[in-house]
A and B are shown apart, each in its own frame.
Chain A
Amino acid sequence: MTDRITRQQSRAAAWLLLPALALIGLFFVIPVIAGLLLSFTDFDIYSISAPQAARFVGLENYRQVLAWPQLWQAMRNTMYFVVVGAPISVLVSLGAALLLNSPGIRLRGLFRTIYFAPVVTPLVAIAIVWRYLYHPRYGLLNNFIDNIGLSPIDWLGDPQWAMPAIILVAIWKNFGYNMIIFTAGLQTIPRELFEAAAVDGANAWWRFRHVTVPGLKPTFLFVGVTTMIGYFQLFAEPYIMTQGGPLGSTRSLILLMYEEGFRWWRMGIASTIAVILFAMTLIGTLVQLQLARRNS
């Protein structure tokens, strides 16, 4: 009887899994492996019509790419966006979650909906809107700055300011997402811990430092890793707002990969850039896991 049921279940499982695993295997796993292989070939515009003409060149692409100032600049830009943008965005999310979870808030649901709204809006539309908001003369932002007596900034035209401007857009668009995750994390901390601390006369900062932060540790790890992975994939903002400029100051690795692969059809080089990005993502994830382990 049980044997028959197991057999039936195995057969049913095979049918139920087939479409999903076939799709993921065919259109994700195999392409990822192929991407790795492609990075060892000289696949270029001539290979598009005759893929068999592409040759295996070993590590030549890596040597070429790593000697290339543009790649290092794109790496620096990406790291800037990840290392500055992601932590600020996580802190803004945490702040918003703490504020929304403090007792006695009116219209809590409405605030949460408003803060979350940018998350579900299409990035392309948002990048276009912000390009106008950042306009040096007619943009809302410089007018606001002018009104409070500061001197105007050429947000997207100044290599110093273009990346901070893109970081601001990313934070504005994304903070609502992690805010929700922090809210879920805060609800897992037992109320009694806060009450006991309050009875002992601990002030708000002490409670934050010694109850909230330790209680949120698993949430910090999850948010840290997922946010970092997402921030490594910066593409649409510079594509729409700056085309990678000015002076290449916002060209991210993915934008460089896109240009190499789909504008110049140097697929081998583009795959090499993708693999480098993957390696950076992996290292970043491992570093965070290690830090979390050391902290616990």
Chain B
Amino acid sequence: MKLRPSSIAVHAVLIAGAAATLAPLLWMLSASFMTPGSASSLPIKLLPIPATLGNYVDLFTRLDIARSFANSVIITTLATLSSVVINAMAGYAFGKLIFPGRDRMFRGLTLALVVPAQVAMLPLFLFLRELGLVNTYIGALIPYMSSVFGIFLIRQYVLSVPDELLDAARIDGAGELRIFWTIVLPIIKPILVTLATFTFLSAWNDFMWPLIILSDSAKYTLPVALASLSGEHILDAELMMAGSMLTVLPALGAFLVFQKSYIQGIMSGSVKG
């Protein structure tokens, strides 16, 4: 198959776009292996020659980045698990169970989507402070444990589960909670993966809430630790790029593994929502 001129032009634009999209990420990768000072010198260096692992070693030995990494892993894991379980329960109830006030309640939830989370942040901080949850993992993961978006996502998917399946189980005498646990959960597994990916990424990447609720540097998540390092080490571009790499890689990795269900989740959320 030969390419027509117009098609060559389209491909040229696509390649230029891809280059512009990748350039910052590739520079981050490259600079993270450069020797101190060489990312801030003229003429500009694009490749790390000579290459060094020193920046990564420094992060772990001198700057204790492993602790922040562990904090991020713990908070993100707990957030993801609880979000999947809690939103699946609510999403199923809104999608398939009949109870008084269901639709009114669900419409009420949609209103929450236009309220910026920041309006809640100040009182939430004061509230958690009263409860002694400032500087704790629980305080940091509370906003991700349940979300209107997550409930929407699950409900949308649950609507496609055939009613006959549930009714048959009811006639067999299965209780409602058992139906949810043994029949519904296995069927809706694909959307659970999508929701898990969403929650993982938003909890891993989030900055403002952990910045507010975690004041002790021993509890910092990676983005907060990175932001605080970037204040003191503004001149160490190579070191900061290594830290950025460590923060970016788990997110990028999770996306590449779960890309399909993640992107389908965005599409289904937009077409019907």
Contacts and interface: CB of A to CB of B under 8 A. Distances in A.
Interface of A: 5-6, 8-17, 19-21, 23-24, 27-32, 34-36, 38, 48, 51, 96, 99-100, 102, 104-106, 111, 113-118, 120-126, 128-133, 135, 137-138, 140, 143, 172, 176-177, 180-181, 183-185, 188, 219, 222-223, 229, 232-233, 235-236, 239-240, 254, 257-258, 261-262, 267, 270-271, 274-275, 277-278, 281-282, 285
B97 A12 contact: yes
Given A31-B120, A102-B10, A121-B248, A15 B21 contact: no
Interface string B141-171: 0110111100100000000000000000010
Nearest to A267: B122
Task: Report, as a range, how many residues of chain B touch the other chain.
Answer: 35 or more
A10 B100 CA distance: 8
A70 B273 CA distance: 37
Interface in B30-53: 31, 39-42, 44
Contacts, number: 278
Contact of B97 (A16, A31, A180, A277): A16
Given A9-B99, A16-B90, A129-B28, A124 B267 contact: no
B226 A10 contact: no
A20 B109 CA distance: 11
A130 to B, nearest CB: 6
A17 B90 contact: yes
B263 A124 contact: no
Contacts of B248: 121-122, 125-126
A184 B270 contact: yes
Contacts of B136: none
B112 A20 contact: no
Contact of A124 (B94, B148, B227, B262): B227
B237 A34 contact: no
B208 interface: yes
A9 B109 CA distance: 21
A128 B99 contact: no
A21 B119 contact: no
Interface string B72-98: 000000000000001101101110011
Nearest to B148: A24
A135 B40 CA distance: 9
A122 B208 contact: no
A10 B99 contact: yes
Contact of B18 (A28, A31, A115, A281): A115
Interface in B1-49: 1, 3-4, 7, 10-11, 13-14, 17-18, 20-25, 27-28, 31, 39-42, 44
Contact of B251 (A122, A236, A271): A122
A107 B182 CA distance: 41
Interface of B: 1, 3-4, 7, 10-11, 13-14, 17-18, 20-25, 27-28, 31, 39-42, 44, 86-87, 89-90, 92-94, 97-100, 102, 109, 112, 114-127, 129-130, 142-143, 145-148, 151, 170, 175-177, 180, 201, 204-205, 207-208, 212, 222-224, 226-227, 230, 237, 240-241, 243-245, 247-248, 251-252, 254-256, 259, 262-263, 266-267, 270-271, 273
7 contacts: A9-B99, A13-B99, A105-B10, A138-B40, A180-B267, A258-B208, A271-B122
| Chain B binding surface, main DSSP class | helix
B65 to A, nearest CB: 13
A20 B176 contact: no
A143 B46 CA distance: 11
Contacts of B112: 24, 28-29
Given A120-B251, A240-B230, A9 B118 contact: no
Nearest to A257: B118
A124 to B, nearest CB: 4
Contacts of B205: 120-124
Nearest to B40: A138
> Which A-B residue pairs are the 8 nearest by beta carbons?
A12-B176, A20-B90, A34-B123, A31-B120, A125-B244, A124-B223, A184-B267, A31-B123
Contacts of B31: 132
B27 to A, nearest CB: 6
Given A34-B127, A121-B25, A122-B248, A281 B90 contact: no
A282 B201 CA distance: 27
Nearest to A43: B126
B18 to A, nearest CB: 5
B226 A124 contact: yes
A222 B93 contact: no
Contact of B176 (A11, A176, A183): A11
Contacts of B241: 129, 132
Nearest to B13: A99
A55 to B, nearest CB: 16
